[in-house]
């Protein structure tokens, strides 16, 4: 379905996990020269030797123009765009690493920084755009891309859609064009807050939906959680300065529905295990990859408390993950809130 992008360029992807590899393959299929780098050189070597990422995306053949690099400086040579696809807990560390090499580049050709990371900054709870502005300065051209997407499908070129947000009105469409193809839709918006809040908070609701399914509550209860969860997400979004309209798009509602219902969702799988009475450490070990929602729940809860936003579902998920509240007791408490849950 893909045809090469007539405006091909060199792009560096930071992070060779499942999502970084999927983004790299996606951009490579668009005809770009894609260099992928990771601190774990064993994955990089595997990508170069087999054109597969056998650790995170086995049996997925990668394009030949997706090449692994052991040194970030080499990967960034003459690149026009850097895409970060790392867990939110290491986002700032990765960005600082990138910045150390930006300082050695020609200032007239400073690359655009895009991130596909979903979540808030660890400890500080900042939006990742605030971290980027603090690290890079307010003149850097940056963008966030987010939407309903499982790496397993994106790496195979299966159709998907995304929101891409940037404050740069002059560059936003050219950035989006890097990602657009015949089977990938990319919508643009200046609401970088709303796009990020949707991607971070939907993880919390996905854990709740998984718990509900694990308890055997059925599809009706899942629909209830998704609907009320969306309202909860949007309250925080608006409090942080995001647009309510953005939350109804791909990076909000779209990502929420996918993550709450798709069996490939790590956050939903975590919730399923918790609902079935399994210890959290055992579930995470079974999943075998980072479960972003564990950190997102803590950060979302703390931000909501600080801003005095009514977020009962998030509070219950926090208490389950960090204070030992039983899933069944959490369900009882949420149902007792009644109409005020709106």
Ligand-binding site membership of 161 (annotated): no
Q: What string of DSSP letters covers 297-331?
A: HHHHHHHHHHTT---HHHHHHHHHHHH---HHHHH
Whether 198 and 256 have beta carbons less than 8 Å apart is answered as yes
Inter-helix orientation angle 128-136/91-102, to 10°: 30
Phi, psi values for residue 50, rounded to 5°: -120, -5
Confirm or deny that 137 is annotated as ligand binding: no
φ and ψ at residue 187, rounded to 5 degrees: -100, 145
Determine whether the annotation assigns residue 71 to a binding site.
Answer: no
Structure tokens at 19: 């999502």
16 is in an annotated binding site: yes
167 is in an annotated binding site: no
225 φ/ψ sector (left φ>0, alpha ψ -120 to 50, else beta): alpha
Q: Which residues face 82 on adjacent strands?
A: 12, 113
Check the annotation: does 19 bind a ligand.
yes
Known binding residue 266? Answer is yes
Verify whether residue 167 is a known catalytic residue.
no
Q: Is 277 annotated as a binding residue?
A: no
The active-site residue out of 61, 202, 278, 342 is 202
Tell me if 17 is assigned to a ligand binding site: yes
Which residues are known to be catalytic? 202
Q: Which residues line the annotated binding site for NAD(+)? A: 15-20, 151, 266
Q: Which residues line the annotated binding site for substrate? A: 118, 266-267
Q: Which residues line the annotated binding site? A: 15-20, 118, 151, 266-267
């Amino acid at each position: 379905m893909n045809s090469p992008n007539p405006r091909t360029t060199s792009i560096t992807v930071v992070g060779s996990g499942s999502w970084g590899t999927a983004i790299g393959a996606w951009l490579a299929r668009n005809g770009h020269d894609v260099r992928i780098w990771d601190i774990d050189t064993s994955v990089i070597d595997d990508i170069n030797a087999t054109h597969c990422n056998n650790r995170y995306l086995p049996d997925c053949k990668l394009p030949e123009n997706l090449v692994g690099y052991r040194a970030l400086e080499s990967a960034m040579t003459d690149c026009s765009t850097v895409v970060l696809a790392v867990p939110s807990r290491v986002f700032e560390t990765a960005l600082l690493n990138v910045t150390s090499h930006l300082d050695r580049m020609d200032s007239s050709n400073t690359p655009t920084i895009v991130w596909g990371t979903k979540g808030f900054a660890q400890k500080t709870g900042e939006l990742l755009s605030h971290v980027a502005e603090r690290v890079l300065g307010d003149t850097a051209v940056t963008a966030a891309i987010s939407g309903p997407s499982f790496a397993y499908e994106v790496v195979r070129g299966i159709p998907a859609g995304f929101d891409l947000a940037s404050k740069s009105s002059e560059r936003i469409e050219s950035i989006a064009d890097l990602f657009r193809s015949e089977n990938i839709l990319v919508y643009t918006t200046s609401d970088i807050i709303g796009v990020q809040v949707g991607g971070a908070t939907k993880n919390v609701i996905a854990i709740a939906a998984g718990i509900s399914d694990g308890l055997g509550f059925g599809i009706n209860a899942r629909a209830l959680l998704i609907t009320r969860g969306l309202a909860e997400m949007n309250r925080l979004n608006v409090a942080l300065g995001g647009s309510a309209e953005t939350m109804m798009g791909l990076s909000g509602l779209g990502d929420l529905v996918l993550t709450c219902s798709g069996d490939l969702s790590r956050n939903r799988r975590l919730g399923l295990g918790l609902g079935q009475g399994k210890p959290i450490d055992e579930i995470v070990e079974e999943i075998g990859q980072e479960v972003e929602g564990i950190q997102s729940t803590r950060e979302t809860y703390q931000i909501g408390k600080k801003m005095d936003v009514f977020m009962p579902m998030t509070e219950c998920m926090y208490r389950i993950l960090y204070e030992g509240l039983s899933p069944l007791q959490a369900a009882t408490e949420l149902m007792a809130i009644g109409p005020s849950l709106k």
